[in-house]
Structure 1
Amino acid sequence: MIRKSVTLFPLFLLAGCPGPGDRLPDKVPAQVTLSGNNVCITYPVTPGDYITSVQIGSEQNDFVYDVFNDKPVHPARNQCLPVFGYHFKPNKNYTLYYGLNNKEYDFRKLIHAAFVIPENSSANTDKNNQQK
C-alpha cells in the first residue's frame, strides 16, 4: 500500500490536478461566409469585447499567428473580423482562433472556426476585410 502511494504521489505532482485555475478557455463559434472573393468571419459580439491574438492556419503549414495585447482589435457587430492579410486558397482545410477578452468575462475566450474554401473560389482578402 505504501509503495503504491509513493509511486502515485509524484505522478500527481507532475500531472497536476484540474481546478479553477487550470481550465481551458471557452470556445465561441464563428460564422464563416464567402462573399465574392472575401472570407468574412463573424461571431455574436458582446459590448466591451476586444481581440488580443489571432491564429489562422491550414494543413499546409501556412499560418499567421500574432499577439497584440498593446493594441487590441475592437470588433463591431455584423462586421467581418480582420484576417491580417492571410490569403485563403481553394480545397484547403482552415482553422482559426481569435483570443477574445472582455472586462465582464471571468476568463478569456476563443473565437473558433474550421472551414474549407470551395474549389471554384479564390478567396483572397482585400481592404474590406482588414481591420487594424
Structure 2
Amino acid sequence: MRKLLFIAAALLLSGCPGPGDYYHPDYPAQVTIKDNKPCVTVQPEGDEEVYAIHIYEMAGMAREKLFIPKSYTVRADECLDIAAYPFRLDTAYVFSVVLSSEKKFKKKRFPWGRGFVTRFRLSEGAHGLQVEEVEPEPPNWNLPARSSDEFGLISPEQQ
C-alpha cells in the first residue's frame, strides 16, 4: 500500500501531460527583398490572421519591438505589413509572427495559433539591398535578465 501511495504521489507532484503541455514548433517564415525593403511571407491556413509580430535585434536579444496590428488576413504570397519598422543595415534580426484562428479559438481546438520565425541580416549589395539568413546565436547565460524598460510597443496609431 505504501508503494502505491508513493507512486501516486510522485505522479501527482510531477504532473501529467495534458492538452496545454504539447510542444508546438515554430514554422519557417521566408524573407526576400521586394521594392528595396524586406518582405516576410508565411503560409497561413484557413481563417488564420496576423495576431502579433515580434522583431528582435539578435545581438544580445536586448531590443525588442512588438507590433500588434489590427488583425488582418494575409495570403501566402503577400508580404506582412512591417513598413513602420526601422530596419538597419548589418544588423541581425529575429522576426517572429503569430497567426491565430478565430474558428479554432471558438471551438476550443488547441492550438488556435501558429508561430513563424526567420532570422536575417540586411546588407547593401551591388544591386541594392540584400538579405542573408543567419543562424541563431547560442544563449549567454551570464547576462542579467532584461528589464521591462527595454521592451517597446508600437501601436497601430504610431505606424
Three-state SS of the structure 1 residue aligned to 2:23 is coil
Rounded Cα–Cα distance in structure 2 between residues aligned with 1:18 and 1:90: 44
Q: May I ask how many residue pairs the two structures share in their alignment?
A: 117
Maintained 8 Å contact 1:88/1:122? no
Provide closer, same or farther for how the CA distance between residues 55 and 17 of structure 1 changes in structure 2, counting only shifts above 3 A. farther
Rounded Cα–Cα distance in structure 2 between residues aligned with 1:90 and 1:72: 29
- The normalised TM-score by structure 1 is 0.67
**Residues 40-78 of structure 1: CA distance to partner in whole angstroms, max 9, x if unpaired?**
00022323111211111113533211445xx31211231
Residue aligning to 2:96:
97
**Residues 2-47 of structure 1: CA distance to partner in whole angstroms, max 9, x if unpaired?**
9xx6xx95xx84x755432113333221110012421000022323
- Is residue 109 of structure 1 aligned with residue 110 of structure 2? no
Question: Matched residues, percent identical?
Answer: 24
RMSD over aligned Cα atoms? 3.2
- The normalised TM-score by structure 2 is 0.58
- Unaligned ranges ≥5, structure 1: 124-131
Provide closer, same or farther for how the CA distance between residues 50 and 19 of structure 1 changes in structure 2, counting only shifts above 3 A. same
Maintained 8 Å contact 1:90/1:122? no
Greater RCO, CA 8 A, separation 6+? 1
Provide closer, same or farther for how the CA distance between residues 16 and 95 of structure 1 changes in structure 2, counting only shifts above 3 A. farther
- Unaligned ranges ≥5, structure 2: 132-158
Maintained 8 Å contact 2:33/2:130? no
After superposition, residues 12-91 of structure 1 pair within 5 angstroms as 13=13, 16-60=15-59, 61-67=62-68, 71-83=70-82, 85-91=84-90
Maintained 8 Å contact 2:19/2:110? no
Rounded Cα–Cα distance in structure 2 between residues aligned with 1:17 and 1:77: 37
Structure richer in helix, relative to its length: 2
